[in-house]
Amino acid sequence: MTKRILILSVFVVASCGLAYELIAGALSSYLLGDSILQFSTIIGCYLFAMGVGAHLSKYVREDDVLARFIDIELAVGLIGGVSAALLFMTFSWMSAPFRTLLYVLVFMIGALVGMEVPLVMRALNARDTAFNELISRVLTFDYLGALAVSLLFPLVLAPYLGLVRTGFLFGMLNVAVGFWTLYTFRAELKDSFGRALRASAVMVVLVTGFALSDQMVKWGEHGLFGDEIVYATTTPYQRLVITRWKDDLRLYINGNLQFSSRDEYRYHEALVHPALQALPWARRVLVLGGGDGLALREILRYPNIEQVTLVDLDPAMTHAFTTRPELVRLNHGSFSDKRVKVINADAAIWLQKDEGMFDAAIVDFPDPSSFALGKLYSVPFYGMVKRHLAANGLMVVQSTSPFFAPHAFWTIDATLREVGLRTFPYHAYVPSFGEWGFILASPQQQFVPPTSYRLPMRYLNAETTHEMFSFPPDMQPMPMAPNRLNTQSLVHEFEQDWRRVIR
């Protein structure tokens, strides 16, 4: 019976160890971007720390193995359990030490986790378990625990519990293993009562943290965003937060501002109308991204538009902007228009399967701050969009800032030209963002910027349109290589550009 308990404890501690690693990787990716860099460095640091912990385990005396195992469970439960909340609060209120704290916590947790399995193996070996059976059982349950949490984390834990609450949950599991071991081997252990008190105190801290997770996240996000949070949710794909200050609504995705209701009309008029003004015959429009319905609002102003297909990955995004009154007022109820068809899917996969043709395509994705987003700005992706575009149609791409991120902007331009599209870059001043860039592209036709518009505009007229398609000396074109999937140069260029701005 005691052997089974130790073997089962391996399953639990393996699950907890991997969970802390995934939480650290996901949280740093949300807050810092560049998911491959974050996960790669965290995994490397964690595995190195596990090796250090495995080495340190040899210094535990044979008569002290179970006691040290229980102490380690309490320590890793406490540190791992509070890690997500501590990291989030640190980033929200004093972002400077975030990276240092991130890797210190990852190393500490990894070192403690690295000691767990060797100590369990020594405890089993002391109970006359054959070596081959010992290795087989321990490693089997270790890998099974890792498999279980690797499936549960993205499908259930992160989207439904959130990262902070998930951290506290696995911390409680570690402490439960400590309690379980303490109770089972109480006759062999010294100071069982003292350890039980310490375990109880740690469990109270973790249970309290679990219960207060929502309040902690709200407090942290208040420090991060400053304004009142009117809506927040974690989905399998991203963290969505909507804030309000007086009459200003703002949408943040993974902490990055997507729009301010005070000036979003500038962005969306510039995104949509130069292309659609040049296509008075257009009937079918494709929108990729744009789950807030604001580009959709502008498209639907044209009576000649008969159908708009909007493809956005996250159903939580389109649902919020379809049902929440303040957001519906902002997009003028665009999702309720009978001409609109909403598809919640990965745009790249949908483009591969769909056979429809469109007169115009509006590509309104978040900036290419990660490799998951960078693929949506790549040569293969634009090639797929081109195949769905009429020969005399037009495509418009949100292309980050040609002033703050010029290398990224002109990389997107080079990528569109690589697939045989003629490009017509332009920019607009949006107070919330500064100078912002767009690239209009065509399979074959020449584009001439409009000198007038059929519809009334708040921002666009002949003068502002002329200025948009004219680049001053400090935003001139740069020779850049196209963004290919195997290198994702755009993500690196984007990161380097904005790093120079922050400095």
pLDDT at residue 133, as a whole number: 62
Examine the domain organization and report whether 169 and 254 are in the same domain. Answer: no
pLDDT at residue 143, as a whole number: 76
Examine the domain organization and report whether 216 and 106 are in the same domain. Answer: yes
User: Which of 52-61, 85-94, 140-149, 293-302: highest mean pLDDT?
Assistant: 293-302
Question: Beta-carbon neighbour count of residue 383 at 10 Å?
Answer: 16
Which of 163, 194, 221 is where one domain is finished? 221
Flag whether pLDDT at 99 surpasses 60.
yes
User: 37 CB contacts (<8 Å, ≥6 apart)?
Assistant: none
d(CA 318, CA 238): 13
Least confident of 313-322, 395-404, 492-501: 492-501
Residue in the structure block whose two tokens are 């003292």: 194
Examine the domain organization and report whether 279 and 236 are in the same domain. Answer: no
**Tens digits of per-residue pLDDT, 51-91?**
999 999 888 888 888 888 889 999 999 999 999 888 888 87
pLDDT at residue 395, as a whole number: 97
**Tens digits of per-residue pLDDT, 395-431?**
999 999 999 999 999 999 999 999 999 999 999 999 9
What DSSP element (H or E) covers 372?
A: helix 371-374
Cα distances (Å, whole numbers) of residue 502 to 258, 405, 496: 18, 11, 10
Confidence tier at 6 by pLDDT (50, 70, 90)? low
pLDDT at residue 124, as a whole number: 66
Alpha-carbon 32 to chain mean position: 9
361 versus 190: which is more confidently predicted?
361
Flag whether pLDDT at 109 surpasses 80.
yes
d(CA 171, CA 366): 34
Tokens of 503: 């400095």
Examine the domain organization and report whether 87 and 200 are in the same domain. Answer: yes
Examine the domain organization and report whether 161 and 65 are in the same domain. Answer: yes
d(CA 38, CA 36): 6
Examine the domain organization and report whether 251 and 193 are in the same domain. Answer: no
Domain range holding 230? 224-258
Sheet of 239-245: strands edge to edge?
A: 228-234, 239-245, 248-253, 256-260
Cα distances (Å, whole numbers) of residue 410 to 183, 394, 401: 64, 19, 10
**Which entry of 34, 292, 364, 367 is annotated as an active-site residue?**
364
d(CA 465, CA 238): 34
Of 128, 123, 127, 80, which Cα lies nearest the Cα of 105?
80
**How large a percentage of the chain has pLDDT more than 90?**
57
Flag whether pLDDT at 123 surpasses 70.
yes
Flag whether pLDDT at 155 surpasses 90.
no
Confidence tier at 498 by pLDDT (50, 70, 90)? confident
d(CA 243, CA 416): 35
Predicted TM-score (pTM) of the model is: 0.76
Q: What is the DSSP string of 84-147?
A: HHHHHHHHHH--TTHHHHHHHHHHHHHHHHHHHHHHHHHHHHTTT--HHHHHHHHHHHHHHHHH
**Tens digits of per-residue pLDDT, 444-472?**
878 999 999 999 999 999 999 999 999 99
Of 474, 414, 468, which Cα lies nearest the Cα of 441?
414
Number of domains in the chain: 3
Which class for 125: exposed (0-12), middle (13-18), buried (19 or more C-beta within 10 A)?
middle
Tokens of 279: 């296509």
User: Taking all residues of the chain, what is their mean pLDDT, rounded to a whole number?
Assistant: 88
pLDDT at residue 157, as a whole number: 84
Examine the domain organization and report whether 279 and 207 are in the same domain. Answer: no
Which of 168, 194, 221 is where one domain is finished? 221
pLDDT at residue 364, as a whole number: 96
Q: Which CATH number does the domain housing residue 431 bear?
A: 3.40.50.150
Which of 211, 243, 258 is where one domain is finished? 258
Examine the domain organization and report whether 330 and 196 are in the same domain. Answer: no
Examine the domain organization and report whether 271 and 344 are in the same domain. Answer: yes
364 is catalytic: yes
DSSP, collapsed to helix, strand or coil, labels residue 361 as: strand
pLDDT at residue 199, as a whole number: 92
Examine the domain organization and report whether 51 and 127 are in the same domain. Answer: yes
| Dihedral pair phi/psi, residue 8, rounded to 5° | -65, -30
Examine the domain organization and report whether 176 and 74 are in the same domain. Answer: yes
- Angle 364-365-369 from CA coordinates, rounded to 5°: 145
pLDDT at residue 236, as a whole number: 77
d(CA 55, CA 50): 9
Residue in the structure block whose two tokens are 């010294």: 190
Examine the domain organization and report whether 178 and 228 are in the same domain. Answer: no
Q: Is there a contact between 416 and 401 (Cβ–Cβ < 8 Å)?
A: no
> Can you list the positions of beta strands (E) in 327-406?
340-343, 358-364, 389-398
